[in-house]
Structure 1
Amino acid sequence: MKKRVLIVDDNSTNLYMLETLLKGHGIEVTSAENGKDALDKARLNPPDLIVSDILMPVMDGYVLCRHWKSDERLKHIPFVFYTATYTEPKDEKFALSLGAERFILKPQEPDIFMDIMKDLFEGGYIVRQVEEKPLGEEMEFFRQHNEILFKKLEKKMQDLEAANRKLKCLEEQYRLSFENVTDIVWTIDADFNVRKISPSVERMLGYKSQDFIGRSVSELVKILTPESMERAMSEIALVLNGQTIPTSVYSLVARDGTIKHGEFSGAPIWRESKIVGMVSVIRDITRRK
C-alpha cells in the first residue's frame, strides 16, 4: 500500500517541488496551505506522515504541531518541520519540545530528504507524545512562540527595508541611465501604445518624450517615412507575437524636416509567461549613410 504524506506550505512553488519529489518516489501526497487547512484534512483522513513549513498565515507550523500532538488520532503520526526561515538552534529546540520527530532545513538534497522519509516510514523514530500541559506551561508555550515569531517578523522587516533601499538605488541608477542614454530607448504595451521613451529622442529628432507617451504607434506617422512606418508596424507585431526579428534601418523625420537614419532592434517584454509589450532601441546611424 502506498504511503501518504500531508505537506503544508503557503508557498505554491515549495508545495509543487515537494509534491513532485514525493510522488516521484511512489508516495501519495495531500497538500495544504496553512496549519488550519492541514489539521482539517488530517482529521478527516489521517496521513502516514506530515511535513510542514513553520511561517504560514492563519495557523503557523508551531501551533499546528501543538494541536497535532494533542490529538488522539494524530499524535502517533510523525511530524516533520521543513523550514527556510526558522533556522536557529533555539527554533529547532522549541520545535522538538512540541513533539516534532524531525527538524529539516530548506533546501535539502533530495536524496537526503528521501532517506529521512524512508527512515520515518520504517519506524526509525520514537513518537514524541506531548502530555496535556498545566495552565502555566500553556502560557509558557505562547510566550516562547510569540517571542520567536516576533524575532522572525522583525528580521523579515529588516530584510524588507534593506531590499527596498537596494531597489531605490537600482531605480535611481536606471533613471539616470535612461535619461542620459545616447540611443532612443522606448517601450510599448500589447496595444501598441507608447509607455516610455528616453529624453534622447529630443536630441536625435527634436521631439520631447511627452509628444509620444500614451499615444499609439500608428499615430506617429510624422516621424517615419511611409515605407518605414509600414515596415515598423509589421515588425512590432512580430515581436509582440514572440518572434525574433533582424536589426532594421528606418528613415526617421526630425521635427525640422531633416531625414535621419535609425537602426532598430526590439525584444518582447515578458511577465508571468505572457508577452505584455516590447522594448526597443533606435541608434542614430545617419553619419554612416
Structure 2
Amino acid sequence: MKPRVLIVDDNEENRYLLHTLLSAHGREVVSATNGAEALEKLRAGRFDMIIADVLMPIMDGFQLCRECKNDPGLKDILFVFLTATYTDDKDANLAVSLGADEYVRKPVEPDKFMAIVEEVFSRRRKKGRSPIPAVSSDENVSELYSKVLVEKLENKMLDLERAQKALQESAAELRRQKKALEEKNIALKEVLAQIETEKIRVQQQISANVGKSLLPLVRGLRHGASELQNRQIDVLELNLQTLTSNFGVKLSGGSVSLTQRQIEICNMIRGGMTSKEIAESLSISVRTVETQRNRIRRKLGIAGKAANLATYLETFGRDSS
C-alpha cells in the first residue's frame, strides 16, 4: 500500500510542486489549504504523514501539530514542517516541543527534501509505532508559542516600517525629480520664447531688406518685359513676399507640409498663371503641374471639393499675413 501523505499549505503553487514531487516518488497525496481543513480530512481517512507550512489562515501549522499530537487517533501520524517564513531555531524548538518529527527550512532541493522524508519514514519503521506522549497545554509550550508569534509580528512591523521608509524616500525623490523637471521646463520655455523673439526680429529684418532693396529691383525688371515675363515677375514678387510672411511657413509645416516645388507652384497659381504657363516657366510638363495641383489640394484638405485653388490660396495667404 502506498504511503499516504497530507500536504497542508495555503499557497497553491507550493501544493502543486509538493504534490508532483511526492507522487513521482510513489506517495498517495491529498491536499488541504489550512489547519482546520486538514483536521477534517485527517479524521475522515488514513494518513501516514503530514507535511505542513507554518503560516496559514484560520489555523496555522503549529496549532495543527498541537491538535494532532493531542488527538489519540492522529498522534501517531508523522508530522513534518516545511516553511520559508519561520526559519529561526526558536521556531524549530517550538515544533519539536509540539511533537514534530522534522522541521525543514526552505529553500531546499527536491532530492534533499525527499531524502529527509524517507529518513523520517525509515526512523518510524525502525522504532515502530511507539507511544508518543500527548503534548501538554502547560505554560512552557504556550509561552514559547506566544514568543514565536510575537517575534514574527515584531519582524513584520519592522519590515512594514522599512517598506514605509523606502516608500517615503521614493516619494521624496519623485518630488525632487518633478521639481527639477518643472525647472527645466521653465528654462526650456524661456529659451523657446527667446528663439521666437529672434525669429520675429530676423523676419522683420528680412522683410525690411526685401521691401527696401529687392522689390524695387524686381519691379524695375517690368520695363520692356513681355506679358509672360510680367507674370513671372509677379510670381517672383510673391515668392519674396512669402519670405516675409507666415504663408510659406504654414504651407511647409504642420499637417500641410508642402514641398518647395509645391510652394513655388502655389505662388504661381496665386499670381494667376495657368497650368501651361507654370509648366513653361518651370520647364516641366503640364501633366506634372496637374499632378502637383492635385497633391496640393489633397494636402490642403480640399480634394474632391468645388473650391477654386487660386481663391483658396489667396484666402490662405491673407489669413497667414
Q: Which residue of 1 aligns with 2:14?
A: 14
Distance change in 2, residues 1:132/1:156 (3 Å): closer
DSSP-derived class of the 1:160 partner? helix
Q: Which residue of 1 aligns with 2:143?
A: 143
Give the conservation status (yes or no) of the 8 Å contact 2:69–2:135: no
Output one character per residue of 1:230-266: Cα deviation in whole Å (capped at 9) or x when no partner: xxxxxxxxxxxxxxxxxxxxxxxxxxxxxxxxxxxxx
The letter for the 2-side match of 1:43 is R
Residue 133 (structure 2) aligned to one of 127, 130, 135? 130
Give the deviation of 1:178 after TM superposition: 6.4
The letter for the 2-side match of 1:118 is E
Give the conservation status (yes or no) of the 8 Å contact 2:102–2:120: no
Q: Which has the higher helix share?
A: 2
Q: How many residues align?
A: 190
DSSP-derived class of the 2:73 partner? coil
Distance change in 2, residues 1:132/1:149 (3 Å): closer
CA distance in structure 2 between the partners assigned to 1:33 and 1:128 by the alignment: 29
Q: Which residue of 1 aligns with 2:159?
A: 159
Give the conservation status (yes or no) of the 8 Å contact 1:84–1:105: yes
DSSP-derived class of the 1:6 partner? strand
Taking the TM superposition and a 5 Å limit, the aligned residue runs for 1:45-194 are 45-122=45-122, 123=124, 129-131=132-134, 133=136, 137-174=137-174, 176-177=176-177
CA distance in structure 2 between the partners assigned to 1:128 and 1:179 by the alignment: 72
Distance change in 2, residues 1:148/1:225 (3 Å): farther
DSSP-derived class of the 1:54 partner? coil
Give the deviation of 1:61 after TM superposition: 1.2
CA distance in structure 2 between the partners assigned to 1:170 and 1:17 by the alignment: 36
Give the deviation of 1:33 after TM superposition: 1.8
DSSP-derived class of the 1:29 partner? strand
The letter for the 1-side match of 2:133 is V
Give the deviation of 1:26 after TM superposition: 3.4
The letter for the 2-side match of 1:147 is K
The more displaced of 63-72 and 85-94 is 85-94
DSSP-derived class of the 1:65 partner? helix
Q: Say which structure, 1 or 2, has more relative contact order (CA 8 Å, 6+ apart).
A: 1
Higher-Rg member (1/2): 2
CA distance in structure 2 between the partners assigned to 1:22 and 1:129 by the alignment: 26
Distance change in 2, residues 1:26/1:180 (3 Å): farther
Unaligned runs of 5+ in 2: 193-253, 257-321
Unaligned runs of 5+ in 1: 183-198, 207-223, 227-289
Q: Which has the higher strand share?
A: 1
Give the deviation of 1:60 after TM superposition: 1.4
Output one character per residue of 1:98-140: Cα deviation in whole Å (capped at 9) or x when no partner: 111101111111111011112233436756722363xxx5333
The more displaced of 76-85 and 165-174 is 165-174
DSSP-derived class of the 2:7 partner? strand
Output one character per residue of 1:11-69: Cα deviation in whole Å (capped at 9) or x when no partner: 23322322232233332222222111111111111322111111222111111111111
Distance change in 2, residues 1:162/1:46 (3 Å): farther
The letter for the 2-side match of 1:85 is T
CA distance in structure 2 between the partners assigned to 1:168 and 1:20 by the alignment: 43
The letter for the 2-side match of 1:113 is F
Give the deviation of 1:181 after TM superposition: 6.3
DSSP-derived class of the 2:103 partner? strand
Give the conservation status (yes or no) of the 8 Å contact 1:101–1:128: no
Q: What RMSD over aligned residues (CA atoms) do the two structures have, in Å?
A: 3.2
Give the conservation status (yes or no) of the 8 Å contact 1:101–1:125: no
The letter for the 1-side match of 2:36 is K
The TM-score, its normalising length taken from structure 1, stands at 0.56
Distance change in 2, residues 1:181/1:13 (3 Å): farther
Give the deviation of 1:82 after TM superposition: 1.1
CA distance in structure 1 between the partners assigned to 2:91 and 2:174 by the alignment: 40
Give the conservation status (yes or no) of the 8 Å contact 1:98–1:130: no
Distance change in 2, residues 1:2/1:44 (3 Å): same
CA distance in structure 1 between the partners assigned to 2:131 and 2:73 by the alignment: 14
